[in-house]
Chains A and B, each alone.
Chain A
Amino acid sequence: MARVKPFTTAAALATFSADRHETAPLAELRQQALAAYPQLPLPTFEKIRYQRWPLFNGDLAPEQAANQTATPTSELATPLTTTDAADQEPAMIQQLDLQAPWVQLSAEAQAQGVVVLDFFQAQREYPELFAKYYGTLAAPALANRLAAFHTAAVNGGLLIYLPAGAKLTAPLTLELTQSGDNGQLYAQHLLLVAGENSEATILATRQTTTAGSASANIVEELILEQGAQLRYTAIDGLKNTTYLARRAYLFADARIDWALGEMNDGDIVTDFNTDLVGKGSQADFKAVAISTGSQFQGITTRLTNYGLHTVANILQHGVILSDATLTFNGVGHIVKGARDSDSQQENRVLMLSRTARGDANPILLIDENDVRAGHAASVGRVNESQMYYLMSRGLSKDLAERLVIRGFLGSVLTEIPVAAARAALTATIERKLIDGQRHRDRAQ
């Protein structure tokens, strides 16, 4: 393996920690990760060759960036609005680059003691949470080169803490924006801890304002304590070369419903992972993705049944235009001892051009007998006779294509339980498709 030159020195990193008043355990972990990451192997994802991508680019700490507080700005994404619970104002969290977040909690969130803090401040105020959950269970800090690089370089982020028993009726919206063109590494961390029997809906959007050369290395770790119920919707529209880990760890009877829209414009390799550790825990994972232009999106989703009576479902549909690539890996793993468990998955990819490249790989790893498991996968093209039929009624080629695609992705969208999330995703899909078609039609 090629030797990697560390991105910074131990001394410079210590100064970085000190400038941000980082706690001793985290500063030490950072040093450990800096020493370790060049030797660690890159994680492997089936059929996704990202090893040469520029995933370690950008400055750790730009001038004058530290400790600015963000103000809500109209340049950020239009907030996801919801009609699900009209009486409750949704809680709103915005964060631009490494700045401290702008947070406006709803009355119910405040009353129930929900905590949203900047990454560095959170370390100081909730050291016990960090000791227990930061880089330990959901996303081990030194698991591989990308994880360890993140641990060494993390330069911004958030803690969201839902106390035990908290029940939020209105969604918590998260708008996380990366400038993209300021040369700054975006090593953003989200630690979300859902306490016992808490319930919440998260509507997250991640986006990059302007494409640039700096990399993004984003890690979200979600801890669902016993009985916690989380509906987590994220729409990603990232433009730089990105590693995105979104990893959850479930205690007994916890349940997570994922609904993800991978609408990125840059190259991205994802590590979506859910560990169903506690007995009776459940994970339902749904994703739609669209690749356009010449981008590469490599999406690996792994759900592992460790506990008894655990249920894991994966449903991913994706569409590819132009010369783009989209690879879906679905990994369902039932470990020995996870009796009476269930692992199902469906991965489908639709290609709209001869030069599009796509893959849908279902991988089932079953080490226990008393289980149910199944998978379906397909890679197909838009049928010429379908296009001819639609166009013979006067629909333009682009509109006919969008209808076929909407139909194809619709089987995932209709399954998403949160109406606001469905609407937001549908709108984003339409926009991304129109952009992709314009780009293609100009190139022709």
Chain B
Amino acid sequence: MSVLEVRDLHVRVDDQNEHKEILKGVDLTMKTGEIHAVMGPNGTGKSTLSETIMGNPRYQVTNGDILLDGVSLLDKPVDERARAGLFLAMQYPAEIVGVTNAEFMRAAINARRPDDDPISVRQFIKELDHNLALLDMSEGMAERYLNQGFSGGEKKRNEILQLLMIKPTFAILDEIDSGLDIDAMKVVAKGVNSMRGATFGSLIITHYQRLLDYIKPDVVHVMMGGRVVKSGDADLARKLEDEGYTGLRDELGLDIQLTDEN
């Protein structure tokens, strides 16, 4: 069993666009075999949390720690974290001309294997065909340039395809449901559910409860104002759907201005 732990995490952004503290002490522990959901209103730091766990250099950790099986990840660059078992399905995956999807996925798989033991072509193609079929993707998608000219929905599916091929220990899905219609969302959920098991854990970031109808979470965390303000089981998500974030805030007596609140 593996454990991913976020302890009292404080994160700032300082660049030409923004200077501010976004995370103000996040605590969260998840284990393989579990699916956690993080919900919360806009601008509350959900994406910052996922990008910081992955190691996006844009975000500066000013306090706290992120540990994988007790080992701090803070001084490790993004590629080392990935090889240690983390995966982030991104909201806005980059487009890269000239590098095919298949070539990229093979490189990613081989990056986790010893130099003298790359995955065989036969094995790779077998897994690729299986996963393409699972996600209702055409075989042609594998030979297209990485995300180049993909529609929003194709990009999301492609993130899940990579997840299935790379088989990380912990996958963070950052608003994988945004911009997806119901059918596409079902396909994405099918992909994630196929990964469920004792050796896989996932942190699903979402605005809406709807995705959680298809991927049932074991734990739901609600973030507001840069903190986790409440955790519970799947019922918490349904309750939020009914009462909204302001309802929960008022119930908890929090003094937080929500971005989209009028």
**A residues touching B (Cβ–Cβ < 8 Å)?**
383, 385-386, 388-397, 399-400, 403-404, 406-411
Contact = CB atoms under 8 A, between A and B. Distances in A.
A392 B171 CA distance: 12
A411 B83 CA distance: 30
Contact of A393 (B57, B77, B82): B82
A411 B56 CA distance: 30
A410 B94 contact: no
B78 to A, nearest CB: 5
A61 B78 CA distance: 57
Contacts of B166: 393-394
A399 B54 CA distance: 19
Contact of A394 (B92, B93, B95, B111): B111
Interface residues of B, number: 29
B180 interface: no
Interface in B79-124: 79, 82-83, 87-88, 90, 92-99, 103-104, 107-108, 111-112
B214 interface: no
B90 A407 contact: no
Nearest to B111: A394
B145 interface: yes
Contact of B99 (A388, A391, A397, A403): A403
Contacts, number: 76
A383 B95 CA distance: 10
B52 interface: no
Contact of A392 (B54, B92, B97): B54
Nearest to B166: A393
A393 B162 contact: yes
B79 A391 contact: yes
Given A383-B94, A389-B93, A395 B77 contact: no
A392 B95 CA distance: 14
B56 A388 contact: yes
Contacts of A393: 82, 87, 104, 107-108, 111, 162, 166
A286 to B, nearest CB: 15
Nearest to A399: B107
A404 B99 contact: yes
A408 B96 CA distance: 9
A395 B87 CA distance: 12
A397 B55 CA distance: 14
A-B complex: 8 closest residue pairs judged by Cβ atoms: A407-B98, A394-B82, A389-B94, A393-B108, A394-B111, A391-B79, A410-B98, A386-B94
Contacts of A409: 98
Interface-centre pick from B79, B90, B95, B103 (highest chain A CB count, 10 A): B79
Nearest to B95: A386
Given A396-B79, A406-B98, A406-B99, 7 more contacts: A385-B94, A395-B111, A399-B107, A403-B103, A404-B98, A404-B99, A408-B98
B93 A397 contact: no
16 contacts: A386-B95, A389-B94, A391-B78, A391-B82, A392-B88, A393-B87, A393-B104, A393-B162, A394-B108, A394-B166, A395-B108, A399-B107, A404-B99, A406-B99, A409-B98, A410-B98
A403 B104 CA distance: 8
Residue from A386, A397, A408, A411 having most chain B Cβ neighbours under 10 A: A386
B11 to A, nearest CB: 16
B79 A394 contact: yes
